[in-house]
Amino acid sequence: MNERKFLLAAKGQGVFPPPVWMMRQAGRYLPEYRETRKKAGSFLDLCYNPDFAVEVTLQPIRRFQFDASILFSDILVIPHALGRDLRFEEGRGPILTPIEVEDIQALKTDEIHGKLAPVYETVRRLRKELPEETALIGFCGAPWTVATYMIAGHGTPDQAPSRVFGYRNPEAMDDLLHKLAVSSAEYLIRQIEEGADAVQIFDSWSGVLDEHSFARWCVKPVAEIVKRVKARFPDVPVIGFPRNAGLLYESYRKATGVDVLGLDWTVPMKQAIELQAQGPIQGNLDPMRLLAGGRALEDGVKTILDSLGNGPLIFNLGHGITPQTPIEHVQQMLKLIRER
């Protein structure tokens, strides 16, 4: 088999037109997703039911023939597998019982796989059912981002509760992040064993930290994950996505060992070009350009292709597609990329 186009780019080759996929490509903007979601029951039932999880993963591939497919699951299955309770409420997102310092030592990193078995089965089935040319991406949340939900018990705009927790309890925070790193590495390794071609580490909340905390809470645990995954699978590309990391993007690839840098849409083109000179990048169309469509979408796609299109690039959004986005705009985006 020829190497999958997505993997060529992830390993550093310039491919034109670039491979493309979208974060949150399986989701509420698709009527067929909403349909399956209704059948499945709760959001977690959907994540843990391989029949339904395979189905929603394949939906955007059938419709748009993206170059990569991403396992349907959630970053919060790791705290769930570690024994924390978790539910998703309509309109509110994830709700957990906030973790206390005393709870951290009770987290058992070697007992996660029972709960996660259905996810591994989903990966195994997906690799069989996906078209040959479509890469399969596994994923996990970065320890810091996962910890923010465990500590606050829900999403917050600036992760103030977790920053305060970490400053008041630095050793406990290090322990928590280390346990999450160990579990997440195991989780990714199992996904690769079942057929994932690449893995992405989502650090959605790395952009709220000062330089010192970024090094200790974002970079260090992600480096631990990468070290463990690379020890088993040195050739499987790892994508790091430290969203909103700003100038801290510069040191991130080297410090963590990730192969591909995922860029959010606030990264200036000049910086994106510099980062691409050091290795493959992924991104970074503003999801609101996709939602708005028309000229805003055309200009956004053109700017990225003109500046980054010849280097190693995986075309993506700078964050997930939102539920209100019209499907025709996705088709338009793909046309702009593929028919240039």
Q: Which residues are annotated as a binding site for substrate?
A: 24-28, 74, 149, 204, 319
CB 300, min distance to ligand CP3, A: 19
* Bond into 17 cis (ω within 30): yes
Nearer to ligand CP3 among residue 69 and residue 213 (C-beta)? 69
Nearer to ligand CP3 among residue 27 and residue 242 (C-beta)? 27
Instruction: Identify the residue whose tokens are 């103030």.
Output: 160
Report the relative pairing of strands 86-89 and 93-96 from DSSP bridges.
antiparallel
Residue 227 CA to residue 320 CA, distance in Å, equals 27
Cβ–Cβ under 8 Å, residues 311 and 276: yes
CB 322, min distance to ligand CP3, A: 8
Active-site positions? 24, 28, 37, 74, 149
Residue 179 CA to residue 185 CA, distance in Å, equals 10
Cβ–Cβ under 8 Å, residues 271 and 303: no
Nearer to ligand CP3 among residue 47 and residue 255 (C-beta)? 47
Q: Find the distance separating the first CA and the last CA of the chain, reported in whole Å.
A: 26
Cβ–Cβ under 8 Å, residues 285 and 316: yes
CB 28, min distance to ligand CP3, A: 5
Cβ–Cβ under 8 Å, residues 125 and 112: no
CB 74, min distance to ligand CP3, A: 5
* 85, β-bridge pairs: none
Q: Which of 263, 265, 315, 267 is nearest to 287 (CA)?
A: 265
Nearer to ligand CP3 among residue 201 and residue 219 (C-beta)? 201
Strand positions, DSSP E, 272-330: 281-285, 313-317
Residue 308 CA to residue 302 CA, distance in Å, equals 10
Nearer to ligand CP3 among residue 25 and residue 256 (C-beta)? 25
CB 24, min distance to ligand CP3, A: 4
**What is the enclosing helix (H) or strand (E) of 217?**
none
| Contacting residues toward ligand CP3, per CB under 6 A | 23-28, 37, 43, 70, 72, 74-76, 88, 93-94, 139, 141, 145, 155, 202, 204, 320
